[in-house]
Amino acid sequence: MVRPTALFLPLLLILATPAIAQTPRAQTPTAQAGPVEPGADWPYPPPDPKTWWEEKWPKTPEAADPLAGRRLGRGERLVGVDNGYDPLLYRLWGLHPLQTQILRGSEMILEIAIRPSTSTRQSLVRVTVRRDGEVFVQGRAGLGCCEPGISRRVGFDAEAPAGSVSRLLALRADPVWDSPREVRVDEGSGAADVLCVDGAAYDLTLMTPGRSRSIRRACDSAEVGQAADILEAAFSLALGHEPRFDVLFPGGADFSAARRAYEGLIAEGGRLKPAPGARPQQPAFEPPPEPEVETPRP
């Protein structure tokens, strides 16, 4: 008769084997070179210090940097961007700052920062239209509070489906870009401005060659509804790439309720009036014409 203890001990050793195999290399005497967080480098060994700065890294995907390698040409200058996002904040999101982007021809960048008033879950959507007709969408989400960086950050870089360019280029002529940067709802009855305490603020930025426009539409459905066409176009491209990003937007890309609220406000004699103390827009300038490319003769 085999005692239960005789069977239990071998079984315990078998079950403990994975835990033994998962011992972080940094905790072994031969690999311990200094204070290392336990398990930080498991299951991979630490990099070779001599080759860390010299070995080639994987090339950045095109969708992660659609305008890569551009330099200012003769007569060109950077567009001023004042949308409340510091260049270093873009770096925290893993994005190239808008302040350094160089656009030419019919190119454009549409960017939307979503800032909930009752949550630290912030997100950012950027859509880039390149002069060759390619469209790229980038999304970032994370917790923007209480730590030096952006914690639990997730994101994606993807190429948009074919046929997206015409809808996006048409958004450049949307009247919202010529409206005040910040607005308040005026229902026409002399009522006081509504203070936003529950909802999300949308910071929208449109960047074209020589011009940048930034507006903020906060919480109130009528405010958001003025930019419904732009929001729907951007979110329809951004959703579906990363489930952890999508879960932040249970309503998807549907802003029809906000659009109806804005249309109802206008129909009843109300308006969106400029917010007191709103900053002026950045001045625009005429970019230099692109050099003509000569067609090689046969």
| pTM of this structure | 0.80
pLDDT at 146: 83
pLDDT at 10 (0 to 100): 45
CB atoms within 10 A of CB 166: 9
* Measured distance CA(42)–CA(25) in Å, rounded: 7
Separation between Cα atoms, residue 55 and residue 152, nearest integer Å = 29
The pLDDT value recorded for residue 159 is: 97
The ranges assigned to domains in the chain are: 77-177+197-220+227-251
- Output the tens digit of pLDDT for each of the chain's 298 residues: 445 444 444 444 444 444 333 333 333 343 444 555 655 666 677 878 888 888 888 888 999 999 988 999 988 999 999 999 999 999 999 999 999 999 999 999 999 999 998 889 999 999 999 999 999 999 999 998 888 889 999 999 999 998 899 999 999 999 999 999 999 998 877 665 656 667 899 999 999 999 999 999 998 899 999 999 999 999 999 999 999 999 999 999 999 999 999 999 999 999 999 998 888 898 998 888 876 544 445 4
Q: What is the pLDDT of residue 25?
A: 39
pLDDT tens figures, 235-279: 999 999 999 999 999 999 999 999 999 999 999 999 999 998 888
